[in-house]
Amino acid sequence: MADNLTRRGLLKGAATMACSAAAHPLMTSVTFAAAPWESRLVVLILRGGMDGLDAVRPVGDPAFRAARPGLSDPGVPLDGFYEMHPGLAALAPLWAAGELGFAHAVSTPYRDKRSHFDGQDLLEAGTAMDTALPRDGWLNRMLQTVPGLEGETAFAIGQDRLKILAGSAPVANWAPSVQFALSPQAQLLLEHVYEADPLFHSAASEATLLAASLASEAEAGEMASDDMMAMMQERGGRSERALAAFAADRLSRETRIAAFSINGWDTHRNQAGPMNARLESLAEVILTLKQGLGAAWAQTTVLAVTEFGRTVRENGTRGTDHGTGGAILLAGGAVRGGQVFGRWPGLGEADLYDRRDLMPTADVRAYAAWAMRGAFGIERGVLERDVFPGLDMGGDPKLLL
């Protein structure tokens, strides 16, 4: 058994936890910062490459159903052209109230290599693809433009703090202490998986949860990969709701900016189940924020972004592979919701990027910049020069009220 306890074997065989721990539902981090304004901004990093074509389905495009015969269960009608995935059905009242919207056919400048880690680094750094990645992230650079800023609280679970808020603007770190009783089998698994992997060696809490779960299944035989993924997503969902409740509590007081990860979006096979579970968890996070914020929800913008979209055509295992164009989710009382922003490029083969992906027609960074412009009044020149160096924000999409 010990010969099979390698990180490669675990990820590829037993767990099928997507293609890297970057997409893992039990690895997440949360960061907070205070700021001298009443508007709130929550940035959710959807790690693993959320399938925007599944979350917000362009059913009015005649090529959509043909490209996805195994991913076509009925959705929630939005505007006659788009439907919302049924996993987001709990958010339908927010759509009706104008507190939920989407932007489609968007991406960062990242192209072609389709690596989770590179894509996430570029997303959080907020730079162009041909620019050396800075050590700080775009939210921290925005905070650096605010005089007299004081850092409040930041904490991480399972990994270091988010790059998006890393930088010279003062933000403290905190990590909860977590204790687990490990069986000898689980401890052995932990040691083998992380022994020679310096990148993830520090992510002991994630591996500990996995090890403990595997150990409990040892006598009953090998756990099926789909069962393991479902177990991890369910535990991840509980953690995410708890983090959202904590975020709402801080944001209802002195905190004004929060960013955290919702992971597990890498859906290479049997996408329907995991995608539904992830979207239900995302909906619960947003509703938890709304409930916890109370009256402050009216001054809140939630921006959910991902490192890249996924292929237009489903693959042979009823999943989707790493792509380019995707979708953004926007929520909050400050959002001009009830609409899908962006220019739709079409799904005809000639319209696709590299003949396989949704063609991006807008930059994720532009939507983030306009959200900060509307929420905090930051000048366009500052956003294009200091926060997102070299970005052309384009025309105002009027995201916020």
**pLDDT confidence of residue 45:** 92
Q: What is the pTM of this model?
A: 0.79
**pLDDT confidence of residue 114:** 86
* Measured distance CA(391)–CA(369) in Å, rounded: 9
**pLDDT confidence of residue 1:** 34
- For residue 9, give both structure tokens: 């074997």
- Domains and their CATH numbers in the chain: 2-373 (3.40.720)
Per-residue pLDDT of the chain (401 residues), as tens digits, is 333 334 333 333 333 333 444 444 444 566 666 666 789 999 999 999 999 999 999 999 999 999 999 887 889 999 999 999 999 999 999 999 999 999 999 999 999 888 888 899 889 989 887 777 777 889 888 888 877 666 553 333 224 457 887 777 655 443 333 333 444 554 455 455 445 544 444 444 444 444 444 444 444 444 455 554 454 455 555 678 888 887 888 888 878 888 888 889 999 999 999 999 999 999 999 999 999 999 999 999 999 999 999 999 999 999 999 999 999 999 999 999 999 999 999 999 999 999 999 999 999 999 999 999 999 999 999 999 999 999 999 999 999 99
**pLDDT confidence of residue 328:** 98
**pLDDT confidence of residue 240:** 84
3-state helix/strand/coil string of the chain: CHHHCCHHHHHHHHCCCCCCHHHCCCCEEEEEEECCCCCEEEEEEEECCCCHHHHEECCCCHHHHHHCCCCCCCCEECCCCCEECHHHHHHHHHHHCCCEEEEEEEECCCCCCCCHHHHHHHHHHCCCCCCCCCCCCHHHHHHHCCCCCCCCCEEEECCCCCHHHCCCCCCCCECCCCCCCCCHHHHHHHHHHHCCCCCCCCCHHHHHHHHHHHHHHHHHCCCCHHHHHHHHHHHHHHHHHHHHHHHHHHHCCCEEEEEEEEECCCCCCCCHHHHHHHHHHHHHHHHHHHHHHHHHHHHEEEEEEECCCEECCCCCCCCCCECCCEEEEEECCCECCCCEECCCCCCCHHHCECCCECCCCEEHHHHHHHHHHHHHCCCHHHHHHHHCCCCCCCCCCCCEC
